[in-house]
């Protein structure tokens, strides 16, 4: 089924049907596994019931890709269609921390062993240790 989130509570042994949503990207809050974020054409959406329903997040930037900060804070990091990197660490305030040139095709964030944002663009793979303020090439196309 296109546009439907599938949910497993037993490490993928069985699956149930969740919300019907057209999402570009999904991210789960590691400290609250029933909290799932989705980037959509209408804006960032959140589910607090294990992806069964979603509601738009008020005042969130129009993120294209999103990931958890993976630090148990419930924070998020993402990129919008213009290449602006956004961080939310308190659940309400969004801060622009940098930009990326070109179209971001993939984004991931790791908090350990050291904080690192990694993105893939048509130009290659880039990494940032300061949430997108500066970048270094990892792989250049």
Residuewise pLDDT in 10s, the chain (141 residues): 568 999 988 989 999 999 999 999 999 998 888 999 999 999 999 999 999 999 999 999 999 999 999 777 778 999 998 999 999 988 789 999 999 988 899 999 998 888 899 999 988 999 999 999 999 988 777
The predicted structure's pLDDT at residue 91: 78
72 within some domain? yes
Report angle CA 32, 99, 46 to the nearest 5 degrees: 25
129 within some domain? no
Segments forming the whole domain that contains residue 85 = 3-100
63 within some domain? yes
pTM summary value: 0.90
140 within some domain? no
The predicted structure's pLDDT at residue 2: 64
131 within some domain? no
Domain count along the chain: 1
Distance CA 94, CA 99 (A): 14
126 within some domain? no
CATH classification at residue 32: 2.40.10.500
41 within some domain? yes
| CA distance from start to end of the chain | 35
Distance CA 26, CA 4 (A): 12
39 within some domain? yes
Q: Is 47 helix (H, G, I), strand (E, B) or coil?
A: strand
Give me the torsion for CA of 12, 15, 17, 20, rounded to 10°: 20
Q: For residue 97, what are the CA distances in angstroms to 40, 94, 137?
A: 22, 9, 18
């Amino acid at each position: 089924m296109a546009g439907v989130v599938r949910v497993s509570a037993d490490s993928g042994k069985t699956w149930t049907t969740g919300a019907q949503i057209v999402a570009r990207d999904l991210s789960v809050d590691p400290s609250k596994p029933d909290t799932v974020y989705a980037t959509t054409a209408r804006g960032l959406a959140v589910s607090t019931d294990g992806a069964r329903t979603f509601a738009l997040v008020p005042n969130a930037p129009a993120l294209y890709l999103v990931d958890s900060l993976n630090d148990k804070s419930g924070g998020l990091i993402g990129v919008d269609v213009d290449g602006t990197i956004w961080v939310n660490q308190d659940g309400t305030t969004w801060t622009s921390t940098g930009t990326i040139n070109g179209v971001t095709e993939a984004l991931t964030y790791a908090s350990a062993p050291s904080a690192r944002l990694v993105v893939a663009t048509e130009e290659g793979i880039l990494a940032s240790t300061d949430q997108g303020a500066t970048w270094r090439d990892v792989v250049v196309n």
